[in-house]
Structure 1
């Protein structure tokens, strides 16, 4: 039996995951918490094999919680369940000690499989993240016909930035492009959420992903970058 503890600040998501796992005979949800601090306190009295945890949480976020878990409960295996798909988040959480990373838009079958994999001590990345990382890694390498030796450091091409595509522009998802265009129109997160039929928290996450990718310091800088690189008119 895999004992699972849920950590996410959205009650409706925890309820949904609990309902899904209730049909799995080898998985038992033993507790749930709305933030990292509550999770750590819950683990003092309730044993768990796997923690299914979000990155964006109030009080204590996923990164800080991951550090505390490795120190206080090293035997607990962590599977991240998040909307944050950018490779920086994946790398940081995996480097901090998480054994798996799965997106919230993953199929329920994949989420259940991920729990079983992490519960058995096997690392796991959901299909979408794995394909994105594979695609980006292939974009870093020049075609074999272009391969050559460089006799001087000055002759070498610039170091590849994994956030950029071949045109030197950051790669934004379709949804991120929609959010970016609405930001440029001056809409607030709440107004964008209404237009795209999404939650405000979801739009905040997309906005943070866009800022991370473009490295813009504020909205004005973000719009200037988007116009300069032809992302918006």
Structure 2
């Protein structure tokens, strides 16, 4: 029998989880808390195998609670149950000692599978987040590896023009600075836009800042 403790400041969420798990013969909810401090106090007298924990809670939030649980109740495994899908939250909770991370929008079958996996000592990430992170990795994997590649192999003169554009100079001013014609400067600018696949100068400057192409 897997003993579950629910920690969430919303009564309707706790009631919903109880109802969802009521038909599972190997799962039993042994306690509830509305914040981390209450959870820690009750765990001293109410043993549990898995804590279903929200991230945003009053008094003691999910991150601080997970750190305390990891230190004070190392045998209790944490399964995060939240609406927060941001990568930084996922990373923080796993770094703090959580074993699983599930969105509240997950299906009942996935929720139950997560509880059983975490109780068995395995890690678990819900499918919605797993697919999103896989897509992110694939996108990053197709990105060029260095600034010169991302910038489309700009020539030294094109990089010079780019820097002057970023400094706010007009085409005429750049032409005067580089002792060339305005047509040549405009040609360089158009080539830079094509190589970086940007639509206008503003987008080009944003890319240059992100990729560290400006001094």
1:56 partnered with 2:82: no
Q: How many aligned residue pairs are there?
A: 152
How far the C-alpha of 1:19 sits from its partner, in A, is 1.1
The separation in 1 between residues aligned to 2:70 and 2:131, in whole angstroms, is: 28
The separation in 1 between residues aligned to 2:149 and 2:73, in whole angstroms, is: 46
Q: Which residue of 1 aligns with 2:7?
A: 7
Moved over 3 A (4+): 154-158
How far the C-alpha of 1:21 sits from its partner, in A, is 1.1
Instruction: Point out where structure 2 has 5 or more consecutive residues left out of the alignment.
Output: 152-205, 207-215
| Offset from partner CA, 1:188-230 (integer Å, 9 cap, x none) | xxxxxxxxxxxxxxxxxxxxxxxxxxxxxxxxxxxxxxxx9xx
CA RMSD of aligned residues (A): 1.9
Q: TM-score, normalised by structure 2?
A: 0.67
The separation in 1 between residues aligned to 2:83 and 2:140, in whole angstroms, is: 25
Q: Which residue of 1 aligns with 2:111?
A: 111
Q: Which residue of 2 aligns with 1:100?
A: 100
Q: Which residue of 1 aligns with 2:28?
A: 28
Q: How does 1:77-92 map to 2 (within 5 A)?
A: 77-92=77-92
Q: TM-score, normalised by structure 1?
A: 0.62
The separation in 2 between residues aligned to 1:24 and 1:89, in whole angstroms, is: 29
Instruction: Point out where structure 1 has 5 or more consecutive residues left out of the alignment.
Output: 159-227, 229-233
How far the C-alpha of 1:142 sits from its partner, in A, is 2.4
Equivalent residue of 2:23, what SS?
Answer: coil
| Offset from partner CA, 1:69-126 (integer Å, 9 cap, x none) | 0110011000000000011100110111000000000001110110011011110000
The separation in 2 between residues aligned to 1:125 and 1:39, in whole angstroms, is: 23
Q: Which residue of 1 aligns with 2:211?
A: none
The separation in 2 between residues aligned to 1:132 and 1:155, in whole angstroms, is: 28
Equivalent residue of 1:105, what SS?
Answer: coil
The separation in 2 between residues aligned to 1:42 and 1:156, in whole angstroms, is: 57
The separation in 1 between residues aligned to 2:92 and 2:120, in whole angstroms, is: 22
How far the C-alpha of 1:20 sits from its partner, in A, is 1.3
The separation in 1 between residues aligned to 2:50 and 2:63, in whole angstroms, is: 17
Q: How does 1:98-177 map to 2 (within 5 A)?
A: 98-142=98-142, 155=148, 157=150
